[in-house]
């Protein structure tokens, strides 16, 4: 049960981060389409942030799993 709660919190945090990045994307440019350069810069920054979040989740999951294995 506790594991499910942790999972739900991670999903919420991830969706918040993603929606914020998309909103700021739109507001920065006042709705106009981005140039090619802007698009690639934003995309690079976005993917690294997403990978960091996923890496963090992965690490936390491994810690939980190993702790459970040690306890038996």
pLDDT at 1 over 70: yes
Q: Residue ranges of the alpha helices (H) in 1-72? A: 2-28, 36-71
Predicted TM-score (pTM) of the model is: 0.31
Torsion sign (Cα): 66, 48, 12, 15: negative
Q: Which of 25-29, 36-40, 41-45, 54-58 has the least mean pLDDT?
A: 25-29
Average pLDDT (59-72) is 86
């Amino acid at each position: 049960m506790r594991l499910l709660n942790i999972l739900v919190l991670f999903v919420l945090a991830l969706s918040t981060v993603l929606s914020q990045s998309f909103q700021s994307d739109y507001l920065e440019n006042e709705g106009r389409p981005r140039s090619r350069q802007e698009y690639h810069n934003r995309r690079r920054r976005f993917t690294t942030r997403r990978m960091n979040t996923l890496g963090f989740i992965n690490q936390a999951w491994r810690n939980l799993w190993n702790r459970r294995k040690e306890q038996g």
